[in-house]
Amino acid sequence: MQRYSLFSLVRHGLRNHSGWREQWRAATPKSHYDAIVIGGGGHGLGAAFYLARDYGLANIAVLEKGWIGGGNTGRNTTIIRSNYLFDESSSLYDHAVKKWDTLSEELNYNVMYSRRGVMMLAHTVHDEQVFRRHIHANRLNGVDNEWLTPEQAKAYCPPLNIDPGVRYPIIGAALQRRGGTARHDAVAWGYARAADAMGVDIIENCEVTGIDRDRSGRVIGVQTSRGPIRAAKVGVSAAGNSSVVMGMAGLRLPLESFPLQALVSEPVKPVLPCVVMSNTIHAYISQSDKGELVIGAGTDVYTSYTQRGGLHIAQHTLEAICEIFPQFRRMRMLRNWGGIVDVTPDRSPIIAKTSVPGLYVNCGWGTGGFKATPGAAHLLAHTMATDAPHALNAPFTIERFRDGHMIDEAAAAAVAH
């Protein structure tokens, strides 16, 4: 029997259903918009929605070179958390977590947000010291996080193997109970439908090939595979391709792009009650509403735009997962993939206006993009509408790399990349 994802059902069937719009508001792009957002993932669609709803911009377009949600939004492990170390990071991600709480009601669309908890495993004394530091820093910032003994960790997640004789013994864990998961494609379609209802034109199969500027250097529009489009404001939220798009305006960003590995198992009945992550062995796992075990692996070591990666990376992760959860050894892998992540030198994002008037960017999230979706979208919309950063994204400028004001979450993010 053929199986369809939510993407394919909507693209091939539901869009012609009587309860769904026959087509997007703009089958053909208009010649002029007040604002354009490049990138039809959760961040781009969300920014367009907030621009229309909160800032009254009615003439907006989202340009997507493929199909809605077909990029990194559909290639992630759905994890939501805000237990980051530094003040700037924890404030930014907790802003997103708070918005996740009400997102389904806000969009009138079930994004399947589940507060099941995110557990970070400690395997060494160093791990324990790092996580206890996280816990204290989080609490000072009003973010929940707590330390668990191995026995408490197993009580919270019964499949966990806490045998002290294994290769990676579990000596404790940090738990953020407010963390959890959401369904990635539901987030994209929820924002798409809500933005469309606000009058936003969502244009698929429309690749941006150039950014036009006037003699003063100000952005006046873009060139696309479907012709030129004029706009006074252009926001770039194109995960994995931000440096390419920004290069069209003559800007060089401090980004590297890597394939980030992930995979899912065959579906089974509910067996894993929370999200479990391990920095030492680089593996994280949760169970989707469809029953699949969603497993995240590491990044490929080589810069690349390919949406695949070396099988040895997934193999290393699976070996570790099978030790932590011995009963999963009999599971079959259903599919694996690589999402392209933009990584900055300090592993923190850029959400900012640029030196080019009228041009704004949201990029460099690395592994943090999905969990930040509603918060990042809201902050990009604020920055575009007011031509000034919100207090929460003011530290995440491009200029910090010139001035040395880093927000170095490379090790503090509790993952190995």
Q: pLDDT tens for residues 230-249? A: 999 999 999 888 999 999 99
pLDDT of residue 11: 39
Q: Which amino acid is present at 1?
A: M
Query: Where a domain ends, among 295, 315, 343?
Result: 343
Q: Which residue has the tokens 């606000």?
A: 198
pLDDT of residue 415: 47
CB neighbourhood size of 411 (10 A): 12
For range 48-70, the mean pLDDT: 94
Structural domain of 228: 6-75+184-253+346-403
pLDDT of residue 330: 92
- What's the whole-model pTM score? 0.91
Instruction: Calculate the alpha carbon distances from 239 to 173, 225, 252, 368, 413 in Å.
Output: 31, 19, 16, 11, 19
Q: Tell me, yes or no, whether 127 and 247 share the same domain.
A: no
Confidence of residue 73 (pLDDT cuts 50, 70, 90): confident
Which residues, at least 6 apart from 165, have a Cβ–Cβ distance to it below 8 Å? none
Which position has the higher pLDDT, 18 or 37?
37
Which domain CATH number covers 241? Answer: 3.50.50.60
Above 80 in pLDDT, residue 377?
yes
Q: Is residue 319 part of a domain?
A: yes
| Residues 156, 273 contacting (CB under 8 angstroms) | yes
Burial of 12 (0-12, 13-18, 19+ CB in 10 A): exposed
For range 93-109, the mean pLDDT: 96
3-state secondary structure of 45: helix
Q: Tell me, yes or no, whether 356 and 394 share the same domain.
A: yes
Q: Is residue 329 part of a domain?
A: yes
pLDDT of residue 77: 84
How many domains does the structure of the chain reveal? Answer: 2
- Per residue in 104-120, pLDDT (tens digit) is 999 999 999 999 999 99
- Per residue in 127-166, pLDDT (tens digit) is 999 999 999 999 999 999 999 999 999 999 999 999 999 9
Q: Is residue 90 part of a domain?
A: no
Above 80 in pLDDT, residue 57?
yes
3-state secondary structure of 307: coil
Alpha-carbon distance of 233 to 235, in angstroms, equals 7
3-state secondary structure of 36: strand
Q: Tell me, yes or no, whether 261 and 167 share the same domain.
A: yes
> Which two structure tokens, joined as six digits, stand for 87?
């003040």
Q: Tell me, yes or no, whether 22 and 63 share the same domain.
A: yes
CB neighbourhood size of 36 (10 A): 31
| Residues 245, 238 contacting (CB under 8 angstroms) | yes
Above 70 in pLDDT, residue 64?
yes
Query: Where a domain ends, among 319, 343, 367?
Result: 343
Q: Tell me, yes or no, whether 249 and 260 share the same domain.
A: no
Strands in 131-236 per DSSP E: 146-148, 172-176, 180-181, 201-203, 208-213, 219-224, 227-236
Q: Tell me, yes or no, whether 278 and 331 share the same domain.
A: yes
Alpha-carbon distance of 56 to 234, in angstroms, equals 16
Q: Tell me, yes or no, whether 265 and 334 share the same domain.
A: yes
Mean pLDDT of the chain: 89
| Residues 58, 51 contacting (CB under 8 angstroms) | no
| Residues 338, 300 contacting (CB under 8 angstroms) | yes
Q: Is residue 398 part of a domain?
A: yes
Q: Which of 143, 127, 53 is nearest to 89 (CA)?
A: 143
Confidence of residue 309 (pLDDT cuts 50, 70, 90): low
Q: Tell me, yes or no, whether 283 and 223 share the same domain.
A: no
- Per residue in 358-369, pLDDT (tens digit) is 999 999 998 889
| Residues 259, 299 contacting (CB under 8 angstroms) | yes
Least confident span in 65-69, 239-243, 246-250, 409-413: 409-413
Which domain CATH number covers 133? Answer: 3.30.9.10
pLDDT of residue 303: 79
Q: Is residue 157 part of a domain?
A: yes
Alpha-carbon distance of 58 to 35, in angstroms, equals 9
Confidence of residue 21 (pLDDT cuts 50, 70, 90): very low
Alpha-carbon distance of 239 to 41, in angstroms, equals 8
Above 50 in pLDDT, residue 7?
no
Q: Tell me, yes or no, whether 61 and 126 share the same domain.
A: no
